[in-house]
A and B are shown apart, each in its own frame.
Chain A
Amino acid sequence: MNIFKEIGFLLHKDLRLEFRSSYAISGILLYVFSTIFIVYISFRKVQPDVWNALFWIIILFASVSAVVKSFVQENSARQLYYYSLANPVSVILSKILYNIILLLLLSLLTWLGFSFVAGNPVKDTAQFFLALLLGSVGFSITFTFISAISSKAENNATLMAILSFPLIIPILLTLIKLSANALRLMQDTGVQKDIFILLSIDLLLVGLAMVLFPFLWKD
């Protein structure tokens, strides 16, 4: 079977599973909205620079908890079944794609929810949206791969945080810079350079994930 077709099938399966139970998305949404509400109650008035930092912290934690179950939500026998049918590369790519969709949805809803209670300081909407898109892609690649690693361990939620937080920092810092620019907190002439860095980190990581994942899944 053609690899794109395989990815399509696996992605379709993941989306169908999600729609059927809608456990993940509703759980994560509840998580996001309670976090936003806690932040709102404790800050009341949120300055734009604080808004920027808080927004990305909320996204970071929500993304980790959204992605962590990528490889544990189905039991290992069924995982084995997928692996025997499909190419491991298409398994990881379909998971990454699925998580990109999930995280993009998540960050858009966070933006909506956060703007609703704390105001929307975004001046350049297109650029902010671009930051969200690039953020979802970067987060999804890193977290999906790390969740594949940590799913091999028993206590995987803690391991996930320990392994992924230091790895995500370069992406996160560049994103915060990019979105600070979209909020006009700073005037940055090097936006293209930031976007280029993010894209090249993403490309590097996705390549590595494709090469390394086949070594990971087989037990």
Chain B
Amino acid sequence: MAKHQHAHPVVDLRTSPYIRRAPSVPQIMRNVVYALLPVCAFSVYLFGISALALMIVTTLACLLSEQFFCRMAGKKSTLPDFSAVITGLLLALTLPPGFPLWMGALAGIIGISMGKLLFGGIGYNVFNPALVGRAFVQAAFPVAISTWTPTLAANRFSEFIPSTLALPFMTPAPTAEWSQTVAIDGFTGATPLALMKFEGVMVRTSDLFFGTTAGSAGETSALLILLCGAYLVARNMMDWRLPAAVIAGTAICAECFYLLDPDTYPTPLFMIFSGGLMLGAVFMASDMVASPVTPWGIVLYGLLIGLLTVLIRLFGGLTEGVMYAILFANAASPLLESFTQPKVFGDQ
């Protein structure tokens, strides 16, 4: 700034460009939180106060551990950038609604500390922190993480699912009996993917689309998740090619198997709308930091997630494969980026 009419002008120079118009990092992160809120609200509507408590606990765990580690490292608090809130909410949405709260808190702490701050905080994480937390509890608490409860239980707003309030390091109360008493009609305790895998039963795709089936808190309504993703795309805060590539990858791979043997393998539509695929495609795979920046890298990354998801679902030991598919793709992201560098304009 050139000071005018001054004996000893203070000159403070900087270089072009002098104007910028970009959403700031906190603005982007805040908008992702806004986009997640309807998904969270619908989850609370389906599963009641247990889901709400889980979200609050995981988010608090993420925020507190981020604050703690920032202070330990003597760095400025990174809480105002809102990225820890996203991790907390996403984590809750990937867990069963009746997941014991203390385990949820542990997942949050592990996700933030091992998945994010260990690598240097926002911008440096190799993996999606929420999925790191979930992968940890998947390994540590295999029973709790595959205990599902019915949607729309009559008393969901007045009492917790019995397992929710388990004390740390205690076996959570069994929920099977409770589920039978509160379910509107017959509840099998299995997600659509588990029904497909172990019993060969296909849930109607429309039920999946509107989200009234059992599952994690957030893997319910594909329609709602798509709408929330559309908001982010419209605000230019998410690359639409990424979720599109994940969905396309899933559809292509599932279609191949379906064509091979329509009796054994599910339809591509079922694959797309079941489990956590939609949540994973729209909110998890699209974690900017852990995904490639190059146009073709983004497409390959999405296709890879789709492919791995279908393979794990059909041939792996687990019913759901989205989490590991995304973690694998996160690890492959720098590699994908390195051989998809954009072709320079004018290069033949």
A, B in one complex: no
